[in-house]
């Protein structure tokens, strides 16, 4: 099976459920938010951390100068988002918002993120994350 990031990098279609599962699982595995020294969320942060959207931006498409401090919608409008992700920009935005909005929760980050991710799944008619926390 081809890795999701390989599909994205090659502008191949991806399914919304597959994208949702990949992003939520990645955030669960890392267990904490991607924030910089100024407590602002980063697509790519220290110690290899990534925000929700950062997990689906392949290394070949990432540049701090071109990507950081820009919304998913701005990346889409500026042509800096893979064609694979364009149909799912709203889903990615919601999951990014779930990450960014809960990043200051400290030890409660993961529970708060998963709660918001569940609401996102309902909003997009997807199956909520069911993995182990």
**Closest to 4 measured CA to CA, from 24, 19, 20:** 19
This prediction has a pTM of: 0.92
Does any domain span residue 70?
yes
Does any domain span residue 133?
no
Exposed / middle / buried, residue 22 (Cβ in 10 Å: 0-12, 13-18, 19+) = middle
Does any domain span residue 52?
yes
Average pLDDT, rounded, for the chain: 91
pLDDT at 107: 76
pLDDT at 1: 47
For residue 101, give the H/E element and its range: helix 89-102
Residue 131's DSSP bridge partners are none
pLDDT digits (tens, 9 = 90+) for 18-75: 999 999 999 999 999 999 888 889 999 999 999 999 999 999 889 888 899 999 999 9
Does any domain span residue 116?
yes
Q: Looking at the 3D structure of the chain, how many domains does it have?
A: 1
- Residue range 89-118: average pLDDT? 91
Tell me the residue range of the domain where 87 lies: 4-123
**Please, which pLDDT band fits residue 132 given cuts at 50, 70 and 90?**
low
Does any domain span residue 58?
yes
CA distance linking residue 58 with residue 111, whole number of Å: 27
């Amino acid at each position: 099976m081809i890795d999701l990031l390989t599909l994205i990098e090659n502008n191949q279609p991806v399914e919304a459920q597959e994208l949702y599962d990949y992003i939520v699982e990645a955030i669960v595995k890392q267990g904490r938010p991607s924030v910089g020294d100024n407590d602002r969320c980063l697509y790519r942060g220290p110690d290899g951390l990534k925000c929700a959207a950062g997990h689906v931006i392949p290394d070949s498409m990432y540049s701090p100068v071109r990507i950081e401090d820009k919304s998913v919608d701005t990346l889409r409008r500026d042509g800096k988002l893979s064609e694979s992700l364009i149909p799912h920009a709203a889903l990615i935005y919601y999951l990014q918002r779930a990450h960014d909005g809960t990043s200051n929760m400290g030890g409660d980050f993961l529970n708060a993120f998963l709660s918001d991710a569940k609401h996102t799944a309902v909003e997009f008619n997807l199956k909520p994350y069911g993995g182990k926390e």
